[in-house]
Amino acid sequence: MNSEREKIIADAKREATAHKRKIILRRVSIWGGTLLLLTAMVWGLALLASTSDNNLATAGTLSEAVSPIIDHAKGNPNAKVVLVEYSDFQCPACASFYPAVRNLTSKYGEQIQFVYRYFPLPQHDKGDLSARAAEAAGAQGKFWEMHDKLFNGQALWTDKTESEATQLFTDYAVELGLDKANFTANLTSPMVTSRIQRDVQGGIGSNVDATPTFFLNGMKLTNLASYADLESDVAGAINETK
Protein backbone atom coordinates (compact mmCIF):
# COMPACT_ATOMS: atom_id res chain seq x y z
CA MET A 1 0.00 0.00 0.00
CA ASN A 2 2.72 2.45 0.95
CA SER A 3 4.55 1.71 -2.26
CA GLU A 4 1.42 2.34 -4.33
CA ARG A 5 0.69 5.54 -2.42
CA GLU A 6 4.22 6.81 -2.93
CA LYS A 7 3.88 6.09 -6.64
CA ILE A 8 0.63 8.09 -6.84
CA ILE A 9 2.21 11.03 -5.00
CA ALA A 10 5.28 10.92 -7.26
CA ASP A 11 3.07 10.88 -10.39
CA ALA A 12 1.06 13.80 -9.05
CA LYS A 13 4.24 15.78 -8.41
CA ARG A 14 5.50 15.07 -11.93
CA GLU A 15 2.18 16.19 -13.41
CA ALA A 16 2.24 19.36 -11.30
CA THR A 17 5.82 20.10 -12.37
CA ALA A 18 4.97 19.49 -16.04
CA HIS A 19 1.92 21.74 -15.76
CA LYS A 20 4.03 24.52 -14.23
CA ARG A 21 6.56 24.19 -17.02
CA LYS A 22 3.79 24.47 -19.63
CA ILE A 23 2.51 27.63 -17.94
CA ILE A 24 6.01 29.12 -17.78
CA LEU A 25 6.71 28.24 -21.42
CA ARG A 26 3.38 29.70 -22.49
CA ARG A 27 4.11 32.93 -20.64
CA VAL A 28 7.60 33.13 -22.11
CA SER A 29 6.18 32.53 -25.57
CA ILE A 30 3.53 35.24 -25.11
CA TRP A 31 6.02 37.78 -23.74
CA GLY A 32 8.58 36.84 -26.38
CA GLY A 33 6.05 37.27 -29.16
CA THR A 34 4.92 40.58 -27.72
CA LEU A 35 8.50 41.76 -27.41
CA LEU A 36 9.21 40.76 -31.02
CA LEU A 37 6.07 42.55 -32.19
CA LEU A 38 6.99 45.70 -30.29
CA THR A 39 10.53 45.54 -31.61
CA ALA A 40 9.25 45.17 -35.16
CA MET A 41 6.85 48.08 -34.70
CA VAL A 42 9.57 50.32 -33.29
CA TRP A 43 11.97 49.34 -36.06
CA GLY A 44 9.29 49.91 -38.69
CA LEU A 45 8.44 53.34 -37.31
CA ALA A 46 12.12 54.26 -37.16
CA LEU A 47 12.59 53.12 -40.75
CA LEU A 48 9.54 55.11 -41.86
CA ALA A 49 10.79 58.20 -40.06
CA SER A 50 14.23 57.75 -41.57
CA THR A 51 12.76 57.37 -45.05
CA SER A 52 10.59 60.43 -44.57
CA ASP A 53 13.54 62.45 -43.34
CA ASN A 54 15.62 61.35 -46.28
CA ASN A 55 12.86 62.27 -48.72
CA LEU A 56 12.52 65.67 -47.10
CA ALA A 57 16.27 66.13 -47.20
CA THR A 58 16.60 65.27 -50.87
CA ALA A 59 13.39 66.72 -52.29
CA GLY A 60 14.67 70.29 -52.17
CA THR A 61 18.42 69.89 -52.42
CA LEU A 62 20.97 69.99 -55.22
CA SER A 63 22.04 66.45 -56.12
CA GLU A 64 25.01 67.44 -58.30
CA ALA A 65 27.63 69.52 -56.49
CA VAL A 66 28.99 72.56 -58.29
CA SER A 67 32.15 71.71 -60.22
CA PRO A 68 34.72 74.45 -60.94
CA ILE A 69 35.90 72.42 -63.93
CA ILE A 70 32.62 71.36 -65.55
CA ASP A 71 30.04 74.00 -64.63
CA HIS A 72 29.51 77.31 -66.40
CA ALA A 73 30.00 79.75 -63.54
CA LYS A 74 30.64 83.44 -63.06
CA GLY A 75 31.49 85.49 -60.02
CA ASN A 76 33.66 84.47 -57.12
CA PRO A 77 34.50 80.73 -57.13
CA ASN A 78 35.21 80.99 -53.41
CA ALA A 79 32.00 82.83 -52.52
CA LYS A 80 29.97 81.54 -49.60
CA VAL A 81 26.76 82.16 -51.54
CA VAL A 82 26.20 80.06 -54.66
CA LEU A 83 23.16 80.46 -56.90
CA VAL A 84 22.47 77.66 -59.40
CA GLU A 85 19.87 78.00 -62.14
CA TYR A 86 18.43 75.16 -64.21
CA SER A 87 17.23 76.87 -67.35
CA ASP A 88 15.98 76.55 -70.92
CA PHE A 89 16.98 79.21 -73.46
CA GLN A 90 13.59 78.90 -75.19
CA CYS A 91 11.62 79.22 -71.95
CA PRO A 92 9.82 82.62 -71.73
CA ALA A 93 9.99 82.61 -67.92
CA CYS A 94 13.76 82.03 -68.07
CA ALA A 95 14.11 84.96 -70.45
CA SER A 96 12.08 87.15 -68.10
CA PHE A 97 14.32 86.19 -65.16
CA TYR A 98 17.48 86.73 -67.21
CA PRO A 99 17.74 90.51 -66.52
CA ALA A 100 17.13 89.92 -62.81
CA VAL A 101 19.90 87.33 -62.62
CA ARG A 102 22.23 89.60 -64.59
CA ASN A 103 21.50 92.45 -62.18
CA LEU A 104 22.15 90.18 -59.20
CA THR A 105 25.55 89.06 -60.50
CA SER A 106 26.43 92.69 -61.24
CA LYS A 107 25.17 94.08 -57.93
CA TYR A 108 26.73 91.51 -55.61
CA GLY A 109 29.86 90.83 -57.66
CA GLU A 110 32.43 88.89 -55.66
CA GLN A 111 29.95 88.08 -52.90
CA ILE A 112 28.26 85.38 -54.96
CA GLN A 113 28.91 82.73 -57.57
CA PHE A 114 26.28 82.09 -60.25
CA VAL A 115 26.06 78.77 -62.10
CA TYR A 116 23.99 78.15 -65.22
CA ARG A 117 22.84 74.60 -65.97
CA TYR A 118 20.97 73.30 -69.01
CA PHE A 119 17.48 71.87 -68.64
CA PRO A 120 15.82 72.06 -72.08
CA LEU A 121 12.16 71.13 -71.80
CA PRO A 122 10.63 68.65 -74.29
CA GLN A 123 7.81 71.06 -75.20
CA HIS A 124 10.33 73.58 -76.54
CA ASP A 125 11.28 72.44 -80.02
CA LYS A 126 14.55 74.41 -80.03
CA GLY A 127 15.42 74.08 -76.36
CA ASP A 128 18.00 71.39 -77.05
CA LEU A 129 19.38 73.16 -80.15
CA SER A 130 19.86 76.43 -78.27
CA ALA A 131 21.59 74.57 -75.43
CA ARG A 132 23.89 72.99 -78.02
CA ALA A 133 24.65 76.42 -79.45
CA ALA A 134 25.64 77.70 -76.01
CA GLU A 135 27.79 74.66 -75.28
CA ALA A 136 29.41 74.77 -78.73
CA ALA A 137 30.31 78.41 -78.05
CA GLY A 138 31.56 77.41 -74.61
CA ALA A 139 33.95 74.95 -76.24
CA GLN A 140 35.65 78.05 -77.69
CA GLY A 141 35.46 80.05 -74.47
CA LYS A 142 32.37 82.10 -75.31
CA PHE A 143 29.60 80.46 -73.32
CA TRP A 144 28.40 83.56 -71.49
CA GLU A 145 28.48 85.68 -74.62
CA MET A 146 26.27 83.16 -76.45
CA HIS A 147 24.12 82.80 -73.32
CA ASP A 148 23.37 86.52 -73.46
CA LYS A 149 22.69 86.50 -77.22
CA LEU A 150 20.27 83.60 -76.94
CA PHE A 151 18.22 85.23 -74.20
CA ASN A 152 18.31 88.69 -75.73
CA GLY A 153 17.28 87.32 -79.12
CA GLN A 154 14.77 84.70 -77.93
CA ALA A 155 11.87 86.43 -79.67
CA LEU A 156 13.83 86.37 -82.96
CA TRP A 157 14.51 82.64 -83.12
CA THR A 158 11.92 80.85 -81.02
CA ASP A 159 9.37 80.61 -83.87
CA LYS A 160 11.85 79.87 -86.64
CA THR A 161 12.36 76.46 -88.18
CA GLU A 162 15.24 74.41 -86.81
CA SER A 163 17.25 75.10 -89.97
CA GLU A 164 16.64 78.85 -89.69
CA ALA A 165 17.49 78.86 -85.98
CA THR A 166 20.69 76.90 -86.65
CA GLN A 167 21.73 79.49 -89.23
CA LEU A 168 20.97 82.33 -86.80
CA PHE A 169 22.97 80.68 -84.02
CA THR A 170 25.85 80.20 -86.46
CA ASP A 171 25.63 83.91 -87.29
CA TYR A 172 25.83 84.65 -83.57
CA ALA A 173 28.96 82.49 -83.37
CA VAL A 174 30.59 84.39 -86.23
CA GLU A 175 29.69 87.70 -84.57
CA LEU A 176 31.43 86.47 -81.43
CA GLY A 177 34.56 85.68 -83.42
CA LEU A 178 34.26 81.90 -83.15
CA ASP A 179 35.59 79.45 -85.67
CA LYS A 180 32.51 78.69 -87.77
CA ALA A 181 33.47 75.18 -88.82
CA ASN A 182 34.37 74.22 -85.26
CA PHE A 183 31.12 75.65 -83.94
CA THR A 184 29.02 73.84 -86.56
CA ALA A 185 30.75 70.53 -85.84
CA ASN A 186 30.25 70.89 -82.11
CA LEU A 187 26.51 71.50 -82.47
CA THR A 188 26.06 67.77 -83.00
CA SER A 189 29.16 66.39 -81.29
CA PRO A 190 28.96 63.63 -78.62
CA MET A 191 30.95 65.89 -76.30
CA VAL A 192 28.25 68.57 -76.38
CA THR A 193 25.48 65.98 -76.06
CA SER A 194 27.15 64.44 -73.01
CA ARG A 195 27.70 67.81 -71.36
CA ILE A 196 24.06 68.84 -71.70
CA GLN A 197 22.81 65.45 -70.52
CA ARG A 198 25.01 65.75 -67.45
CA ASP A 199 23.06 68.85 -66.43
CA VAL A 200 19.69 67.32 -67.31
CA GLN A 201 20.35 64.22 -65.22
CA GLY A 202 21.53 66.37 -62.33
CA GLY A 203 18.33 68.39 -62.60
CA ILE A 204 16.18 65.28 -62.59
CA GLY A 205 18.08 64.06 -59.54
CA SER A 206 17.36 67.41 -57.87
CA ASN A 207 13.62 67.15 -58.63
CA VAL A 208 13.65 69.93 -61.19
CA ASP A 209 10.38 69.81 -63.12
CA ALA A 210 10.13 73.34 -64.50
CA THR A 211 12.33 76.24 -65.59
CA PRO A 212 13.77 78.37 -64.26
CA THR A 213 14.53 76.48 -61.05
CA PHE A 214 16.99 78.07 -58.64
CA PHE A 215 19.07 76.52 -55.86
CA LEU A 216 20.66 78.80 -53.28
CA ASN A 217 23.53 77.19 -51.39
CA GLY A 218 22.17 73.81 -52.43
CA MET A 219 18.57 74.42 -51.38
CA LYS A 220 15.73 74.76 -53.87
CA LEU A 221 13.96 78.13 -53.84
CA THR A 222 10.22 77.54 -53.87
CA ASN A 223 8.86 80.96 -52.93
CA LEU A 224 9.71 82.94 -56.06
CA ALA A 225 6.58 84.89 -56.88
CA SER A 226 8.62 87.77 -58.29
CA TYR A 227 12.15 88.85 -59.19
CA ALA A 228 12.25 90.71 -55.88
CA ASP A 229 11.86 87.40 -54.05
CA LEU A 230 14.99 86.05 -55.74
CA GLU A 231 17.02 89.11 -54.78
CA SER A 232 15.65 88.98 -51.26
CA ASP A 233 16.74 85.37 -50.85
CA VAL A 234 20.21 86.09 -52.24
CA ALA A 235 20.62 89.20 -50.06
CA GLY A 236 19.49 87.23 -47.02
CA ALA A 237 22.04 84.50 -47.70
CA ILE A 238 24.80 87.10 -48.09
CA ASN A 239 23.86 88.77 -44.81
CA GLU A 240 23.99 85.43 -43.01
CA THR A 241 27.61 84.99 -44.06
CA LYS A 242 28.73 88.33 -42.60
CATH (domain of 144): 3.40.30.10
- Are 138 and 146 in contact, with CB atoms under 8 Å apart? yes
In a domain, 206, yes or no: yes
In a domain, 66, yes or no: no
Same domain, 46 and 132: no
Same domain, 8 and 83: no
- Domain hosting 15: range is 1-59
Q: Domain end: 20, 36, 59, which one?
A: 59
In a domain, 97, yes or no: yes
Exposure of 16 in the CB half-sphere (CA atoms within 13 A): 6
pTM of the model: 0.76
Q: Domain end: 59, 81, 102, which one?
A: 59
Closest C-alpha to 131, from 142, 120, 115: 120
In a domain, 35, yes or no: yes
Closest C-alpha to 201, from 82, 84, 94, 118: 118
Give the separation between CA 15 and CA 10, rounded to whole angstroms. 9
Same domain, 129 and 198: yes
Q: Domain tally for the chain?
A: 2
In a domain, 64, yes or no: no
pLDDT of residue 242: 83
Same domain, 107 and 22: no
φ/ψ of 56, rounded to 5, equals -65, -35
In a domain, 4, yes or no: yes
- Are 219 and 60 in contact, with CB atoms under 8 Å apart? yes
Tens of each residue's pLDDT in the chain, 242 residues: 445 545 444 554 555 455 555 544 455 444 444 433 333 333 333 333 333 333 333 458 999 999 999 999 999 999 999 999 999 999 999 999 999 999 999 999 999 999 999 999 999 999 999 999 999 999 999 999 999 999 999 999 999 999 999 999 999 999 999 999 999 999 999 999 999 999 999 999 999 999 999 999 999 999 898 999 999 999 999 999 98
Same domain, 26 and 102: no
Give the separation between CA 224 and CA 242, rounded to whole angstroms. 24
pLDDT of residue 63: 95
In a domain, 67, yes or no: no
pLDDT of residue 11: 53
pLDDT of residue 15: 56
In a domain, 162, yes or no: yes
